Homo-oligomer: A and B are copies of this chain.
Amino acid sequence: MPAIPANPDRLLADLDHLRTIGAVGSGVSRMAFSDDDIAARVWLAERMAEAGLEVTVDPCGNLFGLPPGDAPCLLVGSHSDTQPLGGWLDGIYGVACGLELARAALEAGGPRIAVVSFQDEEGRFGGLGGSAVWAGRMSLAAADATTDADGVSFGAARVAAERIAPPGARLGAVSPARFSAYVEAHIEQGPALEAARLALGVVEAIVGVRRWSLTFRGEANHAGTTPMPLRRDAVQALGQYVVDLNAAFAPIVTERTVWTLGRITVDPNAPSIVPGAASVSVQMRDAEAARLDAMKAAALTLAQEVAAARGLELEAEEGIALDPVAMDPALVDRLAAGAEAVAPGRWQRMPSGALHDACNVAAVLPSAMLFVPSIGGISHNPAEDTARDDLRTGLLAIAAALGGNEPAS
């Protein structure tokens, strides 16, 4: 079964042009429904139309390029909006791959491939909003109520969706039932592929998240007059917790589990006062819900033990919990075969530590993702980059995986 004859030069030319829309230094700024976001979507829509794809913009501003006809097709894409100041590849790489694959497949007479750019993945409003509404995981009314940092609602901003559609394009809903599967190419946004000197990552699951906000509450006191044995020092408890949490997690985690104590606040936070309270965020990510739940329980138990041993109070507040999202095993195997075909021995299966539109789409379609390396693991930053050879390899791996759009015989 031949690979789709996708052209990496056209992909790179598209990406090179797209980075000029909303360019800020080496980065880009295309927050959802900003003028530059709309300009990029207009440019993409024009390329889709040129290629013979039927352009449809849905009420959320999600942009689709559909092959003519009603038969089911594969959907390939990601998002073209960016962080307030993001890199040139986050999201748009997957959209540009989808454009080139749909274009090349149409030129080649098959398979049937559609391209999508979802809206507001990066969270000017709620984050992942376009794909969430499209996949039925959030109502349009709920999305409309989300607001940006200036208080502008998604509902008010999305009237600009009609500006995206070129002449002849359709405005309206696109049913997920039109598609047989979803493939999202994305930069890794982490250092794992680079560190392992690999070209591709086939994503098996998007990790879930559990979070605690913990506060150790002791007693603020004069740092000169309070003897050490009489202190109820919240920072001492915090230090113990940071260290002991690693030991508490050791029997639970795998080498791919991560946990982050990223936010710390101390009260009253003065050099001459024994700290009375110390708060810490504990964020845990893993591809297995059961492991996350075990970590969450262990994190709380340890905090209770540390507080009790030091005569402190513990306040524990649960943060948002997101379950892991498994990718479709058959589609993962297909991407793995494509990866092996174009980069033999230079790819691995891996989880995605970041959230992506595929989290939502997986609720309605068999979904999978392919990662290309991020240089230095850097993303959400103008310095974000990927070797051009790796950008080519990612496209070709999907082209090989989707060639024929039918199980190999």
Chain A positions 264 through 288: 1 when the CB is less than 8 Å from some CB of chain B, otherwise 0: 1110011111110010010101000
**Complex Cα–Cα for A211 and B271 (A):** 9
Known A222-B379, A379-B222; contact A262-B258, beta-carbon cutoff 8 A: no
Chain A positions 212 through 235: 1 when the CB is less than 8 Å from some CB of chain B, otherwise 0: 000000000111111111100101
Within 8 A of B (CB), among A175-207: 188-192, 195, 207
Q: Which of B246, B264, B283 contacts A266 (CB 8 A)?
A: B264
**Complex Cα–Cα for A211 and B353 (A):** 40
Query: Is A311 part of the contact surface with B, judged by Cβ < 8 Å?
Result: no
- The answer to whether B262 touches A222, judged by C-beta atoms less than 8 angstroms apart, is no
A233 CB contacts on chain B under 8 angstroms: 260
- The answer to whether A224 touches B269, judged by C-beta atoms less than 8 angstroms apart, is no
Smallest beta-carbon distance A211→chain B, Å: 7
- The answer to whether A262 touches B256, judged by C-beta atoms less than 8 angstroms apart, is no
Chain A residues touching B, range = 35 or more
Q: Apart from A190-B222, A228-B259, A262-B273, what 16 extra A-B contacts exist at CB < 8 Å? A: A195-B227, A221-B377, A223-B353, A225-B379, A226-B377, A227-B258, A236-B261, A239-B239, A242-B242, A243-B243, A260-B275, A262-B271, A262-B274, A263-B270, A263-B271, A264-B275
A residues adjacent to B (C-beta < 8 A):
188-192, 195, 207, 209, 211, 221-230, 233, 235-236, 238-243, 246, 255-266, 269-275, 278, 281, 283, 285, 319, 352-355, 377, 379-380
Q: What are 30 A-B contacts with C-beta separation under 8 Å?
A: A190-B221, A190-B226, A191-B225, A191-B227, A192-B227, A192-B230, A195-B230, A221-B377, A222-B377, A222-B380, A223-B283, A223-B285, A223-B353, A224-B258, A224-B354, A225-B353, A225-B354, A226-B258, A226-B377, A228-B255, A228-B259, A236-B261, A239-B241, A242-B242, A260-B273, A262-B271, A262-B272, A264-B278, A265-B269, A272-B283
